[in-house]
A and B are shown apart, each in its own frame.
Chain A
Amino acid sequence: MTPFAPYLIIALALVLIVVGKRLKDPAPVIVLPLATFIIFFCVWHIAAVAKSYPLNDAQGNFVRMVEVFPTPWSTLQGMLVPVKDGMLLRYAVASVYRVAVGFGIAAAIGIPLGLLAGWYLRTGQALNPLFQFLRPISPIAWIPIAVLWFGVKDEAAIFLIAISSFFPIVVGTMTAVRTIPLVYVRSAQNFGLEGYELFRRVVLPACLPQIITSLRLALGIAWMVIVAAEMIAVDSGLGYLIMDARNANYYDRVVGAMITIGLIGIALDWSMRRLERIDEVRWGFTKQS
């Protein structure tokens, strides 16, 4: 590749943006981000090349360029081995598994507890200060304790994920219940709904959009925390891959793992956004006229 190629590609991408924004609707949704990504990878490439230096042999003959920081292309090549021998998949599955279990535990406890604390004033008064006290403690701060309790095992990482997603879920759910519009509660009372029926037909559906939003937020946090947790608390997973590759000076693998994390993060968020389209909750995500 000539040194000018990336600049040329950036110019083409800019043209793509100018043209793309005028296209008919669904096209810009694909064309514009595509152009942005192309520019992103080109800038990355230019920066990585600028930082590389020539390696000469004893006679002073040029051998090759040494990259301090991998270019997109060498990142791709560096990932071939972990992809082929299945390590990347194994580690990705390990990370997703820990997040799924930890997040599941947090939701299973957090949603019911949030509903209780939101509905019963006294329960809320009793629990809320504790939540507010524990919530600002970064999940990272729990790592030593997690390792102390569970050892360098899956359970430690799962515990950290559960801790980090629990507070957004419980606080979000509690707030949702507390802010149910009075008209809904009064309508329900007017038609004689009480107890379980009031809960199932009014309280839960009224809160569901906000609960889904807090789940989405919590999953985003959990996916960030898992990387940090795996760097210390376990010996597998994408976070561990970053740490391990760094120690072996495989920076292409470090960056490759980062990209994998980003891609899985998008997929997780996308799956949560699918929930927002369900008929019963869609009203909470669109502007009412």
Chain B
Amino acid sequence: MKAEKVVVRGVEKRFERKQDELLALSAVDLSVAEGEFVCLLGPSGCGKSTLLNIIGGFETPTAGTVTIDGQAVTGPDPRRVFVFQEYGIFPWASVWDNVALGLRKLSKDEQARIIQRTIDLVGLKGFEKSFPSELSGGMRQRVAVARALAVKPDIVLMDEPLGALDSLTRMQMRSEILRIWREEKMTILFVTHDIDEALQLADRIVVMSPRPGRIAEIVEVRQEHPRVIGSPEYVRVKHRLYELLGVSHSV
């Protein structure tokens, strides 16, 4: 058993509304091992983003705790980097300057070395001087991933990073993310509401249910990468996920 990296204990989140309160998360317990790839899967509004934001330190839970390496999370930290669904990269800066964002404290030479390496890693060589408005959606997403990887984070938190992409680009980006994950060996928490996406990426899939948002079940995917879509194990887990999400498998 590997060391526990992220531990979420009894987390609850209430949002004040005009009339009443909204219980967005209730009694969430989760622990993620070092180097693990965990997907948060669930219908819209079940609190996936809220949970990820709490782990990232952007929001505080109304009850419960989140610890990372045994330390309580009190705010954002470059050791755990968030990849936002869209437009998290700065449109006013070139690809190069975007990736440089987290490297300000290093020497110029070292910055240049890391930036070039990261840009190559995500396959954006030759676009260093481009601005985000000159890139395709998938390329912009790569910039966001590169910016996150450049700081060598222990944990990458991704909130539907591929949501805005077409299905072909999504497939391609998934294998890129898997490749980078194997090379860099970080822990990844990945929010999605796409069952196949979760199945192709995750070691474990955290299935959430709405109102109040909580963990319905954690499903393990015991399958080596690259995964054969349609293998017995794949189909078995897929059936289980459909059941948990309460949707019919056949349409």
**A280 and B92 contact, CB distance less than 8 A:** yes
User: Among residues 170 to 211 in chain A, which have CB atoms less than 8 Å away from a CB atom of chain B?
Assistant: 181, 183-184, 186-193, 197, 201-202, 205-206, 208
Chain A residues near B17 (CB, 8 Å)?
Answer: none
Q: Which chain A residues border B137 with CB–CB below 8 Å?
A: 289
Distance to closest chain A CB from B115 (angstroms): 14
Ordered by A's residue number, 20 sampled pairs between the chains whose C-beta atoms are within 8 Å are A183-B86, A184-B88, A189-B58, A189-B75, A189-B76, A190-B77, A190-B82, A191-B78, A191-B101, A191-B151, A192-B76, A192-B78, A192-B102, A193-B101, A208-B92, A283-B91, A283-B92, A283-B132, A284-B91, A288-B91
Q: Choose one: A187, A193, A208, A289; the contact of B88 (CB below 8 Å).
A: A187
Q: Does B56 sit within 8 A of A, measured CB to CB?
A: yes
On chain B, which size bracket covers the interface? Answer: 20 to 34
Chain A residues near B76 (CB-CB < 8 A): 186, 189-190, 192
- Complex alpha-carbon distance, A183 and B147, angstroms: 14
CB of B18 closer than 8 Å to a CB of A:
no
- Closest-by-CB residue of A relative to B132 is A283
Interface-centre pick from B58, B92, B104 (highest chain A CB count, 10 A)? B92
CB-nearest residue of chain B to A197:
B104
A: which residues have CB within 8 A of B? 181, 183-184, 186-193, 197, 201-202, 205-206, 208, 279-284, 286, 288-289
Residues of B142-185 at the interface with A, using a CB-CB cut-off of 8 Å, are 147, 151
Q: Do the beta carbons of A202 and B90 come within 8 Å of each other? A: yes
Q: Is the CB of B133 within 8 A of A288?
A: yes
A186 contacts B84, CB within 8 Å?
yes
Q: How far is the CA of A192 from the CA of B133 in the complex (A)?
A: 25
Q: Is A187 within 8 A of B133, CB to CB? A: no
Interface contact A186-B102, CB-CB below 8 Å: no
Instruction: Check: B93 CB closer than 8 A to any chain A CB.
Output: yes
Measured CB to CB, the closest approach of chain A to B223, in angstroms, equals: 32
CA gap between A137 and B104 in the complex, in Å: 47
Q: Top 5 A-B pairs ranked by shortest CB distance?
A: A283-B91, A205-B92, A191-B102, A189-B76, A190-B76
Additional A-B contact list (10), CB under 8 Å, known A191-B78, A193-B101, A288-B91: A183-B86, A184-B90, A187-B82, A187-B90, A189-B75, A190-B77, A190-B82, A191-B151, A192-B102, A201-B101
